[in-house]
Structure 1
């Protein structure tokens, strides 16, 4: 975790953090934010694995306008769309939105010299258990139980290490974004709204529990108080997603960047969206952990 956090701090240290501060200043009265997310992972037909987040203040009027506009101009997810309307691109460029995209390298393998992926994952989980084992807080005691169960899953030869690694890295990225919102803005509430994905649904939605643990760990690593930031988590149910229109924003950005091949710029599926996606402030390569 420390190595990934170190790399994230380096990525955010320059223009990205300055852009985030300017964005928060534009929405200085907002005390609640939504963190929308979507992913394109392990698609053999795509050039990149992408995790995209879109931040938006909890402003009822703005949310209603954006949802209605998306329903009008982008009724379907990107994989079901043949074209993108200019009006939708204008929505993506609104001052109320801030987009963060990560192009993932082999960071999910958690490789260390002399260790395989399973061994490294087990060591990382045990380290977290040891750090929490003496806590008297009820939530941290519950985290230990979750980690123990997850450790047992990882130890199974049948476990899906790639899926487990995706859960680990996405929950960490989300927690880091929440941390930045807490530190850089006067924010009291933040909610993570994820699109439907096996990664967030697996193991009884453990990704959301991991996000809580990681947020706490990031605060400790950075010598920051956990602050009174109310963190909420929403995920799709069998009845659907009440925020379906909103997650279409990171869906389009992630889908576009997944096709982003610098050596063949003419092959982009949606030429009109590339300039917007490519300057989504944080299109960065998250390097391998070694």
Structure 2
């Protein structure tokens, strides 16, 4: 249901822009990565947001990291000003950003605690069945699949015991949405390597970094089993991320959108206004924002367009 709605929104409002304005320019790269960051449950912000930045590797990783460090040397919450050179870099470098506003993220899984537990239990029970099928069909992968089944059992036990429900919801949404947008590139291009690298957070600590295998599983399913090497790095709340400069891109975007009150057309600080005005507004080239929302009639997905100032 959720991804049927997102598919419909992509097909109607994003697919053409994505193909014409972006994918046609980057088809030669066979190595890609997705960097993710989010801002959830901040009482001072009007929005919960997750952002995924997809980057092809044309340049050396360390050179790109140094470039970002030079343009934006700290996270957006710790900077006083967003440099114009950084927003120009975001517009001109061959990267692409997908953001989701998820103010009703718990309600995506149900209207109350018991409904959410039931939804999560079904999701991970079905996933366990799938892995058991793969184990039976690929006995040479028995050790690997058995380890993942053990982690799924850990998630199911946490759900049953009412433990870490909020983190499991976050883990499920972030990995599923990240895999979905990553597949927009994976399905179109001939890749050798694809990686996912998340900002440090406690959702990545659930059941021994299960988020890594979960992201890979969702991406495998979305891409109909397309073959490529998958890379990832554990990103618990105390991890030392070697890629922290790259995560600064989704950090600046998720931080800005989380601060932007669309109903009142207000933003709290000039640094967020600089990101909105100089990068996001009128950008149909490499920045796409969607909103998932719920009401008594169901679940909705819509694309959010940010207009240039008059």
Instruction: Report how far residue 111 of structure 1 moved.
Output: 0.9
Q: Compute the displacement of 1:242 (Å).
A: 1.3
Aligned-pair distance for 1:112? 6.6
The TM-score normalised by the length of structure 2 is 0.82
Deviation per CA, 1:128-160, whole angstroms, max 9, x where unpaired?
Answer: 223333332324444333212211111113x02
Alpha-carbon contact 1:50-1:103 (below 8 Å) kept: yes
Q: Which runs of 4+ in 1 moved over 4 A?
A: 112-115
Taking the aligned partners of 1:16 and 1:142, their CA distance within structure 2 comes to 38
Q: 1:113 to 1:248 in 2, by over 3 A?
A: closer
Q: How does 1:145-224 map to 2 (within 5 A)?
A: 145-157=150-162, 159-219=163-223, 224=224
1:281 aligns with 2:283: no
Query: Quick check: 1:32–1:58 contact (8 Å CA) kept in 2?
Result: yes
| Residue 115 to residue 197, structure 1, CA distance change in 2 (3 Å) | closer
Name the SS of the counterpart of 1:184 in structure 2. coil
1:36/1:193 contact within 8 Å kept:
yes
Between 52-61 and 28-37, report the one with greater CA deviation.
52-61
SS in 2 for 1:231: strand
**Structure 1 residues 239 and 120, CA, compared in 2 at 3 Å: closer, same or farther?**
closer
Q: Which runs of 5+ in 2 are unaligned?
A: 300-310
* 1:239 shift after superposition: 6.5
Within 2, Cα distance between the matches of 1:239 and 1:257?
A: 26
Q: Which runs of 5+ in 1 are unaligned?
A: none
In the superposition, the TM-score normalised over structure 1's length comes to 0.88
Contact 2:195 2:232 in 1 (8 A): yes
Specify whether residues 228 and 252 from structure 1 end up closer, same or farther in structure 2 by C-alpha distance, changes over 3 A only: same
Partners of 1:79 and 1:247 lie apart in 2 by 14
What is the aligned length?
A: 281
Pairwise CA distance, 1:218: 2.7
SS of the aligned residue for 2:24 comes to: helix
CA RMSD of aligned residues (A): 2.3
